[in-house]
Amino acid sequence: EAAVLDSIRALLSWDQETIMPPAGADLRSDHLATMSSLAHERLTDPRLGDLLAACEADASLKGDADAQVNLREVRRDYDRATKIPTRLVAEMARTFSKSMEAWKDARAKSDFKHFEPWLQKVVDLSREKAQCYAGSSTKGTALYDALMDDFEPGMTSEKVSSLFRPLRERLVPLIDAIRASGKTIDEKPLRVKVPLALQREFNTFVAASVGFDLSGGRLDVSTHPFSETVGPGDIRMTTRYRDDGIPEALLTTLHESGHSLYEQGIPKRDRFGQPLAHHISLGIHESQSRMWENFVGRSRAFWAWCLPEMNKRLGGAFAPFKPEDLFRAVSAVKPHFIRVESDECTYNLHIMLRFDIERAMLTGDLAVKDVPGVWNERVKKDLGLEVKEDRLGCLQDVHWSMGAIGYFPTYSLGNLYCAQFWETINKDIPDLDAKIAKGEFGPLLDWTTNHIHAHGRRYSAMDLCERVTGKPLSHEALCNYLERKLKPVDGI
């Protein structure tokens, strides 16, 4: 029942971000509050606690590996859920729904002041939730860790910092060296104008080509691209378009396809509602989206396949270019205000910025009203850019408006997981580039399905990483990949 109710909540959320008329926002907040409350009541029913205890004591289940995974994970969910009162669940759902609408308006107007009171409410409710998890007297980073555990179970601020520190130490000199090289890369391939209707058709074609099952999913449009799992046979994703930005839209679609392929690869139909039918963590989820976006979509092999298809399906708009032109254009390191439009290298500095700011907001070390100033100062220091508009700064992401504090580190964690997976994938599929260049994406999808998707929550993210790659999570694989790829592209 809880899974069905949450499925309805997911459908309502998808509708709000895609086709809901703006005037329906107030009622939608009530819809989401009601559905979240009902699901929470099921998940915290004392009868569930009694049934869990009975199963845990049942000797006949000891040898059933699947049952043990489900019991362990349902126990974890139950113990966490029972710490949160239903009142708070409803209040968060209602507030976050309204906050998202306020964020949309504020972003359109580039006016942080319009969003500030809503962000303050989000932070206050998130802090209250964290204290429910960790104890009312808990302060500091322990509060943030309690929230991050919703997105990346077992991860802590200390562990994230220990991964981000050496990552930053390797990336900043690489970015500086690329800047100092003075080499410019032709961006004309990124600015070819293509009618939006043709773009939509082509993005759908690419999503299907990499393996997204359109009979069990959709590709739509939203302000901030996302993927939403409604349930078995219904995985929804969105992208966004500009008439002169089809490569950007393609990379966004590949990113969301990675999320959706993960969800379609989990055996949901026979296990709906069970942890074995649920993803492990958002870090692992991001490893899949970043893999298709960057390791595939920004590769020479991908453009060797994609460019001929573009010329065939988009009226020859890209006929003046070669695959190498597209590869270099999408791989160029060039600091950008917007996270989702950033290159593979500087992207991680965006995540570190958000990680530091949201921790400081939650612990009270940074007042919400001071976020734009701190953000803009950090962007100038890290990326050398002067933020002139809030929409290009702290209003660009939807996450805080929807209460997702603790989410942002998972993007760079996903990059780290992905790089280690990619090393192993290429050992297991030595002719992977040749296959991608021919549009044969099946072997890659089969590998990720068998090694990652199919496990559900059987293993923790860190355990899965070590199980698949033979190594604990580290910054090394990602830095090696970026240096190996970008130094020749940027002439250093």
Residues with a known catalytic role? 256
* Distance in angstroms (rounded) separating the CA atoms of residues 433 and 439: 10
Cβ pair 172, 220 in contact under 8 A: no
293 is written with which tokens? 């976006």
Of 419, 416, 341, 351, the residue nearest 382 (C-alpha): 351
476 is written with which tokens? 């090394």
DSSP class of residue 230 equals E
Of 72, 86, 92, the residue nearest 44 (C-alpha): 86
Alpha helix stretches (DSSP H) within 182-232: 196-209
* Distance in angstroms (rounded) separating the CA atoms of residues 37 and 87: 8
* Distance in angstroms (rounded) separating the CA atoms of residues 194 and 261: 27
CA dist 10 → 127, 217, 319 (Å) = 24, 14, 42
Write the single-letter amino acid at 99: S
* Distance in angstroms (rounded) separating the CA atoms of residues 157 and 142: 8
